[in-house]
Structure formats: structure tokens, C-alpha cells
């Protein structure tokens, strides 16, 4: 049976319920069973749906209702990007058995869950199980019932795949002659049972906690490709040799330019690690090395900057290297201001010690006791070289070392880039910009540690799981980086940054935001009139696109999923991402 609308000349069309059949000769015929023309339009539409196999939902208390509503949009964004960049295929490339595929699904779930809401592995278990689910992640991935021991087994499996996954990422994003950014950071550790946890230089300002150190290799654009975890007391330069082996042996790159800061790529590391491996480098000289170049007979003379802010010099102390001297006036002012504040603060503290020594009642005496108090104050701000201190058993005096202050101030704003890359391969300006691009690795560390992914607190004890946890966080940021690139028009990101850099008079000066970025910041809207926000807020907004489990009790409690209508911002976001959130599986 079917419903057919038949034209009726000047009268309204007739709506007929008809039946098709075959006559004695086998020809297809149809006959009218009823005239439905007087029925309301919505009733006719309902009958059409029933004849096509639909079901009656019902009305009132026994009608359609929402059984459960789960946030879905942010899950779809994260999972869709994992699928789009082929990260799941890379993880699955050697997963032949069902157990490995199960581990892979759980790892993908942990990546998306950490991107949406960082939490412990136990928290992830609760978040994906149907009874306690807080998003559609478990249902979309078809994880079913997930036990805590399965999650830890999947994490161990991910740790075993780290070398292969990193090699696959490097094969996709690195090629011979490319620039590779490298930097290290640290995160404090709760507990003392992990053999990696050691007391060392804490970048988190938590000297009361042991820590781990980890180094990240990134592309020039700041896309992380590999991470390695070291003992918490490992010095930055000693981590370089492991990265050289990784680039040469595992990634099989014959020509690479490693970019690292002055504390990382030192003269000793260049001599012992980089040169024997045939790698090029870009780094920066330390302050004492710059002062040596600026001697009266040295190649660094301030007259170089009479009409420019960048110059190349040569020095016999650095054979085969290019030295690019830069002078940034804004940096000069900032360093002078900071030095003055440090000197004033230290002078106030020293004056208090002087009062304690010279007071009448219970004075601080003894050269050792006075020296200990003075050393603590001077060492706190590292300005001891700018003071002349006189200590006796009964007195303490101090004054500024004006000669030392003037010598340092003379070189304010000056820094020297050192590189082994030939000028025809990388110009002076491009070399300076490559070194300044290290800020992109620092941005990755901020996202890993505080902004989005919360690598700490580290809740694992064994060395293998700590390494796997850090790798999981790095892979998650790899996905986040791609999301940020795709969603940049809806974020405060400067989408015209490369053009703004090209318009600068010199790579030494600070890059000013482009006009489009200034407009976005001022109006809080993009060129299309849509609101812009930071990445976390946009992800939260995408999460308001919900997957509703609907129930129609009149049909045996038939259930189906109904997604909320996308807002204009959500519609624009998924158009930029290039996939439909409803179809992400």
C-alpha cells in the first residue's frame, strides 16, 4: 500500500490510499482503497512514514522521551581528528589479534578523554562505562564494559609501541635537511617509589618533590613527534646524545639541523655528539662567551649596530661556525629594568642583615654566620657579582660594583646565534627565526603541563608506566596541535602570522600581531561574525552538542539516538574540521 496525491484540475489534489497488484496477465495495476483528502496534513505524513516501515511513537506520558543525554561534540572533534590524521591506523599497523585491537581502542579512548577532560586511569574507566559515563566516548568507540586492569594493560601496550609510533610520525613529518626543535622540561612526582624520580633543578618551583625530566622533539611548526623520559637529576646537555641516536639510527635521517637553547647545545655536546654524527645545529652563546667576543680586540664591536640590528662575525674560537650577532632594543630595556629591580631587592635584604650585625642587643656576629646569611640573599637572585662585600667577625658592609654593572649593561639586548649551517642553505634572518621558534616547544610544554593536558600529577610508580603516561600525553598534544591548526579561525590564534613576519624590517624585532588578529582580539569575533575564544572554551562549547538516547515505549521501548541541532559556532567548527560529528565512529 502507498499514498498517492492526484491532481484534480481547479480543485485541491486528491490524497488516495492505494494498493498495487498484478492482474491475470501479470501486469502491474493499482486500485484505490480510501480517499484521505479530508485528513490533516500531519496525519497523512504520519501514515506515509508508517507505510515506509516507520513506527508510531505516541504522545503524552507514554510518548517519546529522552532516556539519557551525553556530551558528544568534543568527543567527535577529538576522535574525528584521530581518524583524520591516521593515528589510529598507525597504532593498529601491527595489531593483528583481537587483544591488540582492544588495546588500541582503549588507547584511542584515553587520548580523546585526556584531550576532553584530563583525569586518572581510574577516572577514565568510570567515564567510559555505560553506568557512569560522562560523555559519548565509550558508546562511540564500542568499548562496552571496561575494567581498570584493561586500561593499565592498554597503557603498557602503548609503551611497547612507542618506538614504532614515533618512527611512523617522523616518517610522515620529517625529511632530510629539515629543522628539528628540541627542548626539555620537568614535572614533579608524587611519591618516591619510581626509580626515575630524583631531586633536581625544578622548573615547577617544587624543590620539595622529586621529579622526572623529559625531552620533546618537534617540527619547526611545533608539532611534537617524539618524547623521552630521563631521571629527575639529569642535566639538560646530557640528554642530547639520546636525541642524536634517535634522529640518525631510528628515524634514518642523514641531514638534520637540531635547534636547541644555549643550555642544551653546548660546546662539549657539539664536539662529542653532533659533529661525530654529522648533524648541523643552531644554538646561542652563553653570557661569558658573548663578553669574550666583545673584548676590545674581539670581533663583536658595538659600532656594528650603528645602523642595523643584525650582523655576522667570525671568531677563531668557533671554527667552521657562523656567529650571528643580534641587538634588540626592547630586550635591552627589559634586561636593564629587571637588573635594577633585582639589585634593589637584594640591597634591601642586605641592609636588614647589616642592621642585625650592627644592632646593640644580640647582634649577628661571627664571619661564618654573617657570610651564610649574606650568601643566601645573594644566591637567591644571582646578583652577587654586582656587589662588593666586606665581612668581619663584628661588621658587614656592602656596595655596588659599578664596573661590573656597567660591563653587563653594555651588552644588554645583545645575543649571539651560533650555527654550522651554511649561509646559502639558511640566511642570517632565517637562522635567527629558527632559534626563536623554540618558543613553540615551550608552548607545547605549557599545554602538556598546565593549560590543557595536565601531565601531572603523575600517578604511576613503575618506570615503564611513567614513560607510557608521558608518551600518551605527547600523542594527545599531537592531536591537539592538529585541532588547533584546523580551528584557528575560531580561536585567538593569528592566522596571518607568517605574513606578519614577512613584513617585519628585521627578524630580531618582536613580531607584531597581524591586523586580523588585532581585530579578533578587539571584537572577540572573527571576520564571519562568529565569536572567538581559547581552545579549552571552544572544546567545552562543542561538548554541548549532545547525543540523546530516545525511547518510544509504545513500540517495545524502541531506542534510537537523536543529536541536538548544531549551533552556528559548532557548525562552523565541524566544517573547518572537515567531518560530520554524527558520523564519527
Q: What is the DSSP string of 477-540?
A: HHHHHHHHHHTGGGBS--TTHHHHHHT-S-TTSPPPPPHHHHHHHHHSB-TTS-B-B-HHHHHH
Q: Which residue from 439, 26, 49 is spatially nearest to 259, judged by alpha carbons?
A: 439
Q: Which residue from 454, 465, 471 is spatially nearest to 197, judged by alpha carbons?
A: 465
Alpha helix positions (H), 2-134: 41-51, 73-84, 87-92, 98-116, 121-128
Q: Is 581 a member of any domain?
A: no
**CB neighbours of 292 closer than 8 A, spacing ≥ 6?**
298, 317
Burial track 467-484 (b if 16+ CB lie within 10 A, e otherwise): bbbbbbbbbbbbbbbbbb
Please tell me the predicted confidence (pLDDT) of residue 95: 63
Q: Is 389 a member of any domain?
A: yes
Instruction: Sheet containing 2-8: give its strands across.
Output: 2-8, 11-22, 28-35
Please tell me the predicted confidence (pLDDT) of residue 24: 81
Please tell me the predicted confidence (pLDDT) of residue 551: 82
Give the other-Cβ count within 10 Å of 423's Cβ. 13
Q: Taking each helix axis from N to C terminus, what angle separates 535-543 and 73-84, rounded to the nearest 10 degrees?
A: 110
Q: Which residue from 254, 280, 265 is spatially nearest to 419, judged by alpha carbons?
A: 280
> Which of 54, 79, 97 delimits the end of a domain?
54
> Which of 376, 410, 444 delimits the end of a domain?
410
Q: Is 416 a member of any domain?
A: no
Q: Is 442 a member of any domain?
A: no
**CB neighbours of 516 closer than 8 A, spacing ≥ 6?**
494, 495, 496, 527
Q: Is 383 a member of any domain?
A: yes
Q: Is 11 a member of any domain?
A: yes
Cβ(421)–Cβ(279) under 8 Å? no
> Which of 375, 410, 445 delimits the end of a domain?
410
Q: How far apart are CA 356 and CA 494, in angstroms?
A: 54
Q: Is 115 a member of any domain?
A: no
Distance of CA 131 to the CA centre of its chain: 32
Q: Domain limits at 354?
A: 331-410
CA quadruple 98, 87, 144, 129: dihedral positive or negative? positive
Q: Is 360 a member of any domain?
A: yes
- Residue segments in the chain with a per-residue pLDDT below the cut of 70: 54-63, 94-95, 450-452, 553-557
Q: How far apart are CA 324 and CA 333, in angstroms?
A: 21
Please tell me the predicted confidence (pLDDT) of residue 304: 82
Q: How far apart are CA 109 and CA 130, in angstroms?
A: 14
HSE-up of residue 435 (Cα within 13 Å, Cβ side): 27
Full-model pTM: 0.84
Q: How many domains are contained in the chain?
A: 2
Please tell me the predicted confidence (pLDDT) of residue 59: 53
Amino acid at each position: 500500500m502507498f499514498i498517492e496525491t492526484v491532481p484534480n484540475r481547479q480543485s485541491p489534489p486528491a490524497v488516495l490510499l492505494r494498493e498495487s497488484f498484478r492482474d491475470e496477465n501479470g501486469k502491474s495495476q493499482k486500485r484505490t482503497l480510501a480517499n484521505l483528502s479530508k485528513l490533516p496534513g500531519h496525519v497523512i505524513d504520519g501514515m506515509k512514514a508508517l507505510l515506509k516501515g516507520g513506527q508510531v511513537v505516541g504522545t503524552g506520558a507514554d510518548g517519546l522521551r529522552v532516556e539519557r543525554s551525553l556530551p558528544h561534540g568534543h568527543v567527535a572533534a577529538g576522535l574525528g581528528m584521530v581518524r583524520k590524521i591516521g593515528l589510529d591506523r598507525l597504532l593498529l599497523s601491527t595489531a593483528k589479534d583481537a587483544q591488540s585491537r582492544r588495546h588500541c581502542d582503549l588507547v584511542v579512548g584515553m587520548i580523546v578523554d585526556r584531550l576532553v577532560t584530563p583525569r586518572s586511569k581510574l577516572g577514565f574507566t568510570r567515564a567510559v562505562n555505560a553506568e557512569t559515563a560522562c560523555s559519548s566516548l565509550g558508546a562511540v568507540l564500542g568499548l562496552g564494559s571496561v575494567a581498570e586492569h584493561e586500561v593499565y594493560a592498554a597503557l603498557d601496550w602503548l609503551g611497547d609501541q612507542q618506538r614504532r609510533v614515533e618512527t611512523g610520525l617522523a616518517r610522515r613529518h620529517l625529511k632530510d635537511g629539515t629543522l628539528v626543535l628540541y627542548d626539555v622540561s620537568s614535572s614533579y612526582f608524587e611519591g618516591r617509589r619510581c626509580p626515575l624520580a630524583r631531586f633536581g633543578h625544578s622548573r615547577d618551583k617544587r624543590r620539595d618533590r622529586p621529579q622526572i625530566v623529559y625531552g620533546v622533539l618537534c617540527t619547526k611548526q611545533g608539532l611534537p613527534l617524539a618524547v623521552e623520559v630521563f631521571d629527575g637529576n639529569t642535566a639538560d646537555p646530557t640528554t642530547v646524545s639520546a636525541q642524536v641516536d634517535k634522529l640518525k639510527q631510528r628515524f634514518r635521517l642523514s641531514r638534520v639541523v637540531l635547534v636547541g637553547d644555549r643550555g642544551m647545545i653546548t660546546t662539549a655536546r657539539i664536539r662529542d655528539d653532533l659533529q661525530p654524527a654529522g648533524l648541523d645545529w643552531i644554538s646561542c652563546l652563553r653570557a661569558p662567551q658573548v663578553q669574550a667576543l666583545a673584548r676590545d680586540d674581539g670581533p663583536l664591536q658595538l659600532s656594528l649596530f650603528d645602523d642595523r640590528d643584525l650582523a655576522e662575525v667570525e671568531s677563531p674560537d668557533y671554527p667552521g661556525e657562523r656567529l650571528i650577532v643580534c641587538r634588540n632594543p626592547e630586550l635591552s630595556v627589559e634586561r636593564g629594568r629587571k637588573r635594577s629591580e633585582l639589585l634593589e631587592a637584594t640591597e634591601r635584604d642586605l641592609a636588614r642583615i647589616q642592621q642585625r650585625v650592627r644592632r646593640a642587643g644580640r647582634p649577628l656576629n661571627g664571619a661564618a654566620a654573617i657570610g651564610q646569611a649574606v650568601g643566601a640573599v645573594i644566591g637567591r637572585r644571582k646578583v652577587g657579582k654586582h656587589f662588593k662585600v666586606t665581612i668581619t667577625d663584628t661588621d658587614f658592609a656592602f656596595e655596588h660594583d659599578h664596573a661590573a654593572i656597567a660591563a653587563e649593561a653594555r651588552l644588554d639586548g645583545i645575543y649571539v646565534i651560533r650555527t654550522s649551517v651554511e649561509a646559502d642553505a639558511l640566511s642570517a634572518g632565517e637562522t635567527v627565526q629558527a632559534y626563536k621558534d623554540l618558543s613553540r616547544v615551550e608552548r607545547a610544554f605549557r599545554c602538556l603541563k598546565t593549560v590543557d593536558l595536565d601531565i601531572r600529577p603523575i600517578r604511576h610508580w613503575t618506570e615503564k608506566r611513567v614513560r607510557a603516561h608521558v608518551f600518551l600525553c605527547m600523542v594527545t598534544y599531537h592531536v591537539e596541535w592538529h585541532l588547533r591548526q584546523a580551528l584557528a579561525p575560531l580561536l585567538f590564534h593569528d592566522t596571518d602570522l607568517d605574513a606578519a613576519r614577512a613584513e617585519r624590517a628585521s627578524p630580531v624585532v618582536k613580531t607584531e600581531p597581524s591586523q586580523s588578529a588585532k581585530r579578533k582580539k578587539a571584537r572577540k569575533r572573527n571576520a564571519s561574525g562568529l565569536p572567538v575564544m581559547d581552545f579549552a572554551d571552544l572544546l567545552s562549547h562543542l561538548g554541548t552538542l549532545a547525543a540523546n538516547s530516545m525511547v518510544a515505549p509504545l513500540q517495545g521501548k524502541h531506542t534510537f539516538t537523536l543529536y541536538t541541532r548544531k549551533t552556528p559556532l559548532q557548525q562552523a567548527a565541524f566544517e573547518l574540521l572537515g567531518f560530520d560529528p554524527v558520523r564519527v565512529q
